[in-house]
Amino acid sequence: MAFSVATWNINSVRLRIDLVRHFLQEAAPDVLCLQETKCPDALFPQKPFQEAGYPFLAFAGEKGYNGVAIVSRRPLAKIDRSYFCNREDCRHISAEVTTRAGPLTLHNFYVPAGGDEPDPEKNWKFAHKLAFVEEMTAATERFARPRTILVGDLNIAPLETDVWSHRQLLKVVSHTPVETEGLKRLQAAGKWVDVMRHFVPPEEKLYTWWSYRSPNWEASDRGRRLDHIWASPDLGERALSMQVLKAARSWERPSDHVPVVATFAEE
């Protein structure tokens, strides 16, 4: 038996609910984690997920911004939200997921994008992003435990091969040294296994995001790997496969991110 988890920055769950349903029908993960749902809790589209066979829901949202959700075919328990930088801005949700081997903990994060100027003194959004990652690192003991998976739009492409041009993006938010070094410290602090790179060697290009600004995104292929799936060492050893659904970027009115799915041995 296997357990599969997907992560996807959907860029408005209500606007793209038909795309989400199509993805669930096509990929059928056990659990889907969404970021940037842009939807207050009272308006979260629960019925379409329930009709699609995902009756177990956990979400934290606000109007027009941010928002995270976990939708599951497996029962959820111990649902929790954490806040960072003294802001209640709906960037984290966690839940305990039932599996045949016992419960596992799933954390879903949406790290701040950081704006356009990579200078924390000039750009408060960038300062917020750096502080957010630092607080995640400081809180590692709360998150990095056995049988834990951490997923989400972490908004940082840490490796040279996680961007289309390392040299040209060194001063572009999401790939600046201060960001990539911060994310690597976070990963090391939790001894997280980078499940995506477990299957795609670090010397190979790997992207999950392509800008809306590029009209011919597929031909130019100027992507970045902003979305991640990490696992505690015990679960990292049980990873069976990983898939980036690049085709979703060509769907009608798509998100600029695509889904990533990882599968783990359940027993």
Domain count, the chain: 1
Strands 76-80 and 92-97: antiparallel
Stretch 225-254: mean pLDDT: 97
Decide if 7 contacts 151 (C-beta within 8 A).
Answer: yes
Stretch 33-55: mean pLDDT: 98
Stretch 193-217: mean pLDDT: 95
Stretch 116-122: mean pLDDT: 97
- What is the domain-level CATH number for residue 55? 3.60.10.10
pLDDT score at 240: 98
Stretch 46-56: mean pLDDT: 98
Tokens 């902003």 correspond to what residue?
Answer: 226
pLDDT at 163 over 90: yes
Look up the domain containing 59 and give its range.
Answer: 2-265
CA dihedral 205→189→75→15, nearest 10 degrees, is -50
Confidence class of residue 266 from pLDDT cuts 50, 70 and 90? confident
